[in-house]
Amino acid sequence: MILNAFFAALGQLPDPRFRRVLLLGVALTLALLIAVSAGFVWLLSGLVGDQTTLPFIGDVRWLNDLVGWGSAFLLAILSVFLMVPVASAITSMFLDTVAQAVEDEHYPHLPKASAVPIGDAIRDTVNFLGVLIGANLLALILYLIFAPAAPLIFWGLNGFLLGREYFMLAAMRRVGRTEAKDLRSRHMATIWTAGVLMAIPLSVPLLNLVIPILGAATFTHLFHLTQLKERRG
């Protein structure tokens, strides 16, 4: 079922609506990371000031530059690490466009889906972004403690979070939030497995920018396949 969903999604990648969501997601992700980085550097530079007095050294004027460049370097590293969860979360805000493209192509007999209100979509995206970033930052500790298992931890954690959220977003369009949660609970093992398969290529630069789109399409198929499986008993 997972492979059927994946290859069906893969075959639709050239769809213009997929490309539009990809470009929007990457642009918004870069804009957000740049804005946060600039704001953080500005805040630290403001706290340090142009001149600082250090014990045993006296007045120094270079500390501001050191803090600015140091924080910029740190944020650049973190941005590379956070690019994947941020792009995945922001792409989820446009999942309705991807899901509709999938249904137009593969499920044309379905009635028009209920669009998720923009307020709910933004709220869900912000919540999902917070969970993704928070979980991945906390996982840094596990990566350091269990360094050889770091890839497995990354794939397992992000596979769970991405699968859970993307399936939920795809299902809510058709059955509402309550039934989507029930359906997710009944098929959690399949959803987690699909999420891990989505998370693995997230480790590959450039390819990881396409994965959120492919994942959104895959979980749209997966939702319809799980419904079909339940109807058949």
pLDDT score of 95: 80
Running DSSP on this structure, what letter comes out for residue 1?
A: -
- The answer to whether 190 and 180 are in contact (CB under 8 A) is no
Residue 51 has pLDDT above 70, yes or no: no
Phi-psi region of 204 (alpha: psi -120 to 50; beta: other; left: phi over 0): beta
Q: How many structural domains does the chain have?
A: 1
User: Is 21 a domain residue?
Assistant: no
Q: How many CB atoms lie within 10 A of CB 22?
A: 20
The whole domain housing 157 covers 2-14+83-231
DSSP string, 77-104: HHHHHHHHHHHHHHHHTTHHHHHHHHHH
pLDDT score of 193: 94
For the segment 74-108, what is each residue's pLDDT rounded down to a tens digit?
Answer: 655 655 566 666 666 677 777 888 888 999 999 99
User: Is 69 a domain residue?
Assistant: no
- Identity of the residue numbered 77: I
For the segment 6-30, what is each residue's pLDDT rounded down to a tens digit?
Answer: 889 888 888 898 888 888 877 877 7
Strand 58-60 and strand 52-54: the pairing is antiparallel
Query: Could you give the count of Cα atoms lying within 13 Å of 64 in the half-sphere of its Cβ?
Result: 14
Task: Output helix, strand, coil percentages for the chain, rounded to the nearest 5.
Answer: 85, 5, 15
User: Is 73 a domain residue?
Assistant: no
Average pLDDT for the chain: 78
φ and ψ at residue 60, rounded to 5 degrees: -130, 145
φ and ψ at residue 85, rounded to 5 degrees: -65, -35
pLDDT score of 58: 45
- The band of 60, judged by pLDDT with boundaries at 50, 70 and 90, is very low
pLDDT score of 10: 87
User: Is 183 a domain residue?
Assistant: yes
Q: Give me the mean pLDDT over the 140-167 stretch.
A: 87
Question: Which SS3 state, helix, strand or coil, does residue 54 take?
Answer: strand
Quote the CA–CA distance of 114 and 95 in Å, as a whole number.
13
Phi-psi region of 112 (alpha: psi -120 to 50; beta: other; left: phi over 0): beta
Query: Could you give the count of Cα atoms lying within 13 Å of 99 in the half-sphere of its Cβ?
Result: 27
Residue 36 has pLDDT above 60, yes or no: yes
User: Is 158 a domain residue?
Assistant: yes
End-to-end CA distance of the chain: 15
User: Is 34 a domain residue?
Assistant: no
For the segment 169-206, what is each residue's pLDDT rounded down to a tens digit?
Answer: 889 888 888 999 999 999 999 999 999 988 888 767 67
As given in the structure block, the two tokens for residue 152 are 């497995």
User: Is 216 a domain residue?
Assistant: yes
User: Is 63 a domain residue?
Assistant: no
For the segment 199-233, what is each residue's pLDDT rounded down to a tens digit?
Answer: 888 767 677 778 888 888 999 999 999 988 888 86
User: In sequence order, what are the residues at sequence separation of 6 or more whose Cβ sits closer than 8 angstroms to the Cβ of residue 8?
Assistant: 102, 106, 217, 218, 221
Running DSSP on this structure, what letter comes out for residue 50?
A: S
